[in-house]
Amino acid sequence: MTVGDQVIPGALDGLKVLDFSRVLAGPFATMMLGDLGAEVIKVERPDGGDETRAWGPPFDARGRATYFLSVNRNKRSFVLDLTDDGDLERARELALSADVLVENFRPGLMAGLKLAYEDLEEGNPGLIYCSITGFGPGQGARLPGYDLLVQALGGLMSITGEAERDPQKVGVALVDILTGLFATSGILAALRYRERSGQGQKVEVSLLASLLGALVNQASAYTAGGVVPHRMGNAHPSISPYELYQAARGQLVIAVGNDRQFRALCEAIERPELADDSRFATNTDRVANRIELREELDRALREQPADHWSEVLTAARVPAGPVNDVGAAFRLARELGLDPVVEIPTGDGPATPLTRNPITLSRTPASYRSSPPALGDSGPGGVAW
């Protein structure tokens, strides 16, 4: 990153990442590494490259699929046909000089190409090899790893949506993103171990295991409490009031996490007696009597519009606010000084506006050196490390 005339090194400057992954989980992980300074070479097939290059609409002003743009900045694109002996040998050469290799092919494919970790370990003992699968390398290897399928099979859809309606997927491919974050954490942990030992290792993450790990309290309800969670709409299984309410005009989320906040809520809506009602005195009481509590709050909240309640409750230190669309969410972040969008320059056109990396580092900040590459755009100097 350059600030004025000063070049600030990234936390991962000098790290060489060979990215065989496509679509979302792997590319998200390698973009995170790239943002933090790593040099990422994205290996793509000659017949169109990463599938997400064609996943549109929407497209940006230059006709590029915004899906692809979202997870492929700070990379160079190198086209290799892995069915060609010469290209396969070039891939092996890159792998033997890489610090990190990330792949999300179906289990067994890299072994068939002699590009598995076991094939590379002897020639590159410091290699961190990250393999991302849908359901692991064992009996789940035959199952296709698509986010929607994992949301269904992994239980997430069963707890998302209204109780009386069909299960719902989350509005973004959340399992892929979670898996990408777990992959990034695993890679960084392996790099730290390599600093101490000089030894690389294999990192394995799967979409299903990542989802189960991210179910947190809903998972422990089952594993430790013997309770199978179910759909509750916007309500919370363990906290109340913690859901969406209808105001006189507009809707409002209230997220009360403790008794102090509940009392402040009751006073702000001019119903202080609710805080002393034995049915609602503690969170456990409120959860047990959530239907009655909702009826009381509904009556009070329908007297004023959502904007009024948002202002009043925020002033009373009660977590509350309207349901923003994505545009309003970005505007809010700007108003709060978070600067959520970064303009990434391109060599042959207008800058590409993308979401800023959410990690702020005081000494080695994230950098945005290059826009997502065109297919085969390996940048100055080709693909030499």
Q: Give me the torsion for CA of 205, 211, 213, 217, rounded to 10°.
A: 170
- SS3 at position 204: strand
Reference 15, options 24, 32, 3; nearest CA is 32
Residue 299's SS3 state is helix
Is residue 176 annotated as part of the catalytic site, yes or no? yes
Query: What is the arrangement of strands in the sheet containing 242-246, beginning at the earlier edge strand?
Result: 242-246, 251-255, 320-322
Beta strands in the chain (DSSP E): 2-3, 6-7, 16-19, 39-44, 75-79, 100-103, 128-133, 201-206, 242-246, 251-255, 320-322, 341-346, 349-355
Catalytic residue of the set 84, 119, 176, 285: 176
Backbone angles phi, psi at 158, to 5 degrees: -70, -20
Structure tokens, 215:
């179910």
Contact 17, 32 (CB under 8 A): no
**Catalytic amino acids?**
176
